[in-house]
Structure 1
Amino acid sequence: MKLHFIINPSAGNGRGKKIWLQFEQQLTIPYEVHWTEYAGHTVEIAQQIAGQATEKNPACLIAIGGDGTIHEVVNGAALYENVYIGAISAGSGNDFKRGFATFENAKQIEQFFTFIDATSHDYGIAQFNGQSKFFVNNFGVGFDALVAITANESKLKNSLNRFKLGKLSYPYFVILALFTFKPFRLTVTQDGQQKVVDNVWFTTISNQPYFGGGMNLSPTSNTSDGELEVTVVSNLSKWKLLFLFGSVFFAKHTKLKEVNQFSCKDITLVLDERMAVHADGEKQLVNDKHTEIYLTTKRNGWKLAK
């Protein structure tokens, strides 16, 4: 098996590089290092490595970075067999780490190579604008996507990352977005039944429970059950929405009547206007005002090295 580290040096305001230097001193097995240089580069690297993996010579790709880095590795490698994907968290939100096992030290990585301890997990698939995007954490439309995208692109988050406080930027941008975001109309089709929901703040499709730097949005999500959990939040005031984001850390939001949650194997969302969209916190380009998004899941579609 070949071991590859794919490192985002800018993750966590430089934490990716710092963490790698620690692991580099501890590792005693052969490996290759790949540094990412631009958006989408991780996908290209992962795809190239995964495409060369064989049954006799599989590959293990370990991402060092935040949720966005892991997201790109999965998008590059998930369609290939004979590939294991692992992670060393070096971002700010690190929701992947809350839902999946990650490596904490070099000894754990070397133990994996000795025993090949891996588990199979689902990934979600979002199809829109003629493209397919995979996600392992969640896919969001509306308010939560706006907050995630704004936080990721902000200088404030980078400043807080210097003190390992990057996740605190999310609550700040929640409050800021309250005064600019306008609820929207959403058409939902599931099991052949179509429903129109007005005054929607956000809809999140979850593969694992956490988003937004530790918010337990989808407590019942299981990464290996072949299903997605849908959360639709609508028809509530700005101040109740703020209360919701406070209660979601403790999963108390599920008791609110304005929160509708259900499980499904696939679902179609139709937006009536151009809207912020994210996959694992990464901005997605939605070109049309009336965009149709089809979401489903690939059960046990990738192997997690742990």
Structure 2
Amino acid sequence: MAGSEERRVLREVALLTNPTAGKGRGARARAEAMAVLSRAGVTVRDLVGRDRMEAESLARAAVAGGVDALVVVGGDGMVHLGAQVVAGTATPLGVVPAGTGNDVARYVDLSRTDAAAATRRLLTGEVREIDLAVSEGRYYATVLCAGFDAAVNERANHMTWPRGQMRYNLATLAELRTFSPLDYVLDLDGTELRVTALMVSVGNGPSFGGGLRITEGAELDDGLLDVVIIKPLSRLELVRTYPKLFSGTHTTHPQYEHHRVRQVRIEASGVVSYADGERFGPLPLTVEAAPRALRLLC
């Protein structure tokens, strides 16, 4: 990943944890991260909110208090929370992966299985400026899903078993039974497009859901959003195509369409979008690129 780089000395960090991430992996990763940081002489403000609102409030107070970095322990949902706090500020965000998808960690080659190794990477102090996407003041780092992919996210978030990528695979198979194509109205940098599709995805980065590379080719520092349209497929064809999402080779399918824009407005009836694995909001939505909005410790 290209982009503006610098190094930052870490003397004091806020460590914000989702202890329930990854069925308890968050709590274990927190302990490992704290041990690594303490051995390195870094002062740690240990933050655990009772809910999302309290966690964000604690993080904002720590950043306002002048910590050198906000480090989140958890999955892409915790990155999402952290981005709301530090986007547009000089405070960098660090990630210790401990969630289900961990796509932001994939973007920057952080270990997704060894919390201590991921924390040691943060101690190098290397900061890279990357883009975010933003809609009505709310940021996301990975992909906004608005269709079949959002329905899969919704189902997966209500499943307690299994862990990891297999949860998304099973949710996909379950959603196949009932999902029907949707009618969309898109505004792509001022050009209107009406299309019937299974999904419309808006990527800041190339993947979501644990490595599903739906917006293959998306760059984190090009100042653009990657809008991917998957037009109607039969259930059998979707099952055949699904494995290609992990390698990004679905881009040659005739029902695939890709646009790069600075802004997109998406309209469709009855769709609740997801971004970073979190409920983002009902359509219609306007999403804009936010160039170099996040300083990422990686």
**TM-score for both structures, normalised by structure 2:** 0.88
Q: List structure 1 runs of 4+ shifted beyond 4 angstroms.
A: 103-113
Say whether residues 1:250 and 2:263 are aligned partners.
Answer: no
Q: Measure, in 2, the Cα distance between the counterparts of 1:237 and 1:19.
A: 42
**SS of residue paired to 2:22:** helix
Instruction: Kindly provide the amino acid, as one letter, of the partner of residue 186 in structure 1.
Output: Y
CA–CA separation in structure 2 for the residues paired with 1:102 and 1:23: 13
> Do the aligned residues in 2 keep the contact of 1:66 with 1:91 (CA within 8 Å)?
yes
Q: Distance in 2 between matches of 1:220 and 1:111?
A: 25
The answer to whether the aligner puts 1:201 opposite 2:198 as a matched pair is yes
Q: Is 1:281 equivalent to 2:281 in the alignment?
A: no
Distance apart, 1:249 and its partner CA: 1.1
| Residue 297 of structure 2 is aligned to residue 305 of structure 1 | yes
8 Å Cα contact 1:63/1:73 also seen in 2: yes
CA contact (8 A) 1:59 1:82 kept: no
Q: Following TM superposition, by how much is the alpha carbon of 1:228 offset from its aligned partner in structure 2, in angstroms? A: 0.8
Q: Partner residue of 2:167?
A: 169
Label 1:40 to 1:102 Cα distance change in 2 as closer, same or farther (>3 A): farther
> What SS does structure 2 have at the residue aligned with 1:220?
coil
Shift of 1:40: 3.5
1:32 matched residue in structure 2? 45
1:2 to 6, 12, 32: 12
Distance 1:246 1:48, change over 3 A: same
Tell me the CA shift for residue 107 of structure 1. Answer: 7.3
Contact in 2 for aligned 1:64/1:89 (Cα 8 Å): yes
Q: Which amino acid aligns with 2:278?
A: E
Contact 1:122-1:225 at 8 Å conserved across structures? yes
Aligned to 1:14: 24
Q: Does the 8 Å contact 1:71/1:136 carry over to 2?
A: yes
Question: In structure 2, what is the Cα distance between the partners aligned to 1:117 and 1:9?
Answer: 26
Q: 1:266 to 1:154 in 2, by over 3 A?
A: same
3-state SS, counterpart of residue 243 of structure 1 = helix
Cα separation, 2, equivalents of 1:106 and 1:89: 10
Choose the corresponding residue for 2:65, options 39, 52, 59: 52
Distance 1:111 1:257 in 2: 41
Deviations 1:249-298 (A, max 9, x none): 12121011111012111111111x11131011101342xxxx42111111
Give ranges in structure 1 of 5+ residues lacking alignment: none
Q: Aligned-pair distance for 1:112?
A: 5.1
Q: After TM superposition, give the deviation of residue 50 of structure 1 in Å.
A: 2.4
Offset at 1:48?
Answer: 2.3
State how far apart, in whole Å, the 2-side matches of 1:145 and 1:39 are: 21
Q: 2:33 aligns with which of 23, 44, 48?
A: 23
The 1:108/1:177 distance shift into structure 2, 3 A limit, reads closer
Q: Report the aligned-residue RMSD.
A: 2.0
Match of 1:48, as an amino acid?
A: A
The equivalent of 1:84 in structure 2 is 92
- Work out whether residues 62 and 86 of structure 1, in 8 Å CA contact, stay in contact via their aligned partners in 2: yes
Q: Is the 8 A contact 1:235 1:258 kept in 2?
A: yes
Deviation at 1:109, TM superposition (A): 4.8
Match of 1:146 in 2: 151
1:90 to 1:42, Cα distance in 2 relative to 1, 3 A: same
Give the Cα–Cα distance (whole angstroms) in 1 for the partners of residues 118 and 190 of structure 2. Answer: 46
Q: Do the aligned residues in 1 keep the contact of 2:33 with 2:96 (CA within 8 Å)?
A: no
Distance between the aligned counterparts of 2:140 and 2:20, measured in 1? 21
The alignment covers a number of residue pairs equal to: 283
TM-aligned CA deviation for residue 108 of structure 1:
6.8
Deviations 1:107-135 (A, max 9, x none): 7756755x6321100000123xxxx3210
Task: Please name the residue that 1:134 is paired with.
Answer: 139
User: Does the alignment pair 1:292 with 2:288?
Assistant: no
User: Shift in Å at residue 183 of structure 1?
Assistant: 1.5
Which 5+ residue runs of structure 2 have no aligned equivalent?
1-10
| Deviation by residue 1:221-253 (Cα, 9 ceiling, x = unmatched) | 110111111111112212212222121112121
Whether contact under 8 Å (1:86, 1:102) holds in the other structure is no
Please show how residues 104-253 of structure 1 align to structure 2 within 5 Å: 109=119, 116-127=125-136, 132-156=137-161, 160-161=162-163, 166-198=164-196, 200-253=197-250
